[in-house]
């Protein structure tokens, strides 16, 4: 359970950095508290998408992974971010990613920040 909370916090922080750096990834809301709540909900959606959909996509794109020497991972991460944006729209959560190339750059930022956050935050394997 603690590992789930740590990963959600890391995803929320990574999403916050992507929203802060890229103008075309938007998170709207009135107060700071609402924005933090929205970030947590989006982080949960993003985690769910990465848990359920990403493994299937990785298996289906395995030949492309070998062919591109792993660069297809950027496209897969972008598609997961776009899917999260679409789901957020369906659940009326104020998070939006505008365009594929923004999603590619956002996915790259989220991957780097999430990796750094997971290195810093405690990881309880019990």
Q: What pLDDT score was predicted for residue 123?
A: 66
Q: What pLDDT score was predicted for residue 4?
A: 82
In tens, the pLDDT along 20-37 reads 999 999 998 778 888 888
- pLDDT band of 105, cuts 50, 70, 90: very high
Q: What pLDDT score was predicted for residue 21?
A: 95
Q: With contact defined as beta carbons under 8 Å apart, do 78 and 106 qualify?
A: yes
> Nearest 5°: phi and psi at 95?
-135, 130
Average pLDDT of the chain?
90
- pLDDT band of 125, cuts 50, 70, 90: low
Q: What pLDDT score was predicted for residue 23?
A: 94
In tens, the pLDDT along 51-75 reads 999 999 999 999 999 999 989 999 9
Q: What does DSSP assign to residue 67?
A: H
Percentage of residues of the chain with pLDDT beyond 70 = 95
Residue 97, classed as helix, strand or coil, is strand
Give 28-52 as a DSSP string: --SSHHHHHHHHHHHHHHHHHHHHH
pTM summary value: 0.88
């Amino acid at each position: 359970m603690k590992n789930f909370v740590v990963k959600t916090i890391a995803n929320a922080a990574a999403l916050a950095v992507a929203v802060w750096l890229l103008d075309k990834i938007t998170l709207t809301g009135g107060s700071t508290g609402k924005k933090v709540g929205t970030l947590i909900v989006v982080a949960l959606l993003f985690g769910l998408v990465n848990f359920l959909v990403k493994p299937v996509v990785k298996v289906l794109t395995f030949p492309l992974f070998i062919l591109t020497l792993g660069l297809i991972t950027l496209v897969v991460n972008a598609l997961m971010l776009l899917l999260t944006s679409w789901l957020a729209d369906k659940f009326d959560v104020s998070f939006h990613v505008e365009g594929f190339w923004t999603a590619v750059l956002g996915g790259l930022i989220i991957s780097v920040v999430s990796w750094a956050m997971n290195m810093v935050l405690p990881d309880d394997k019990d």
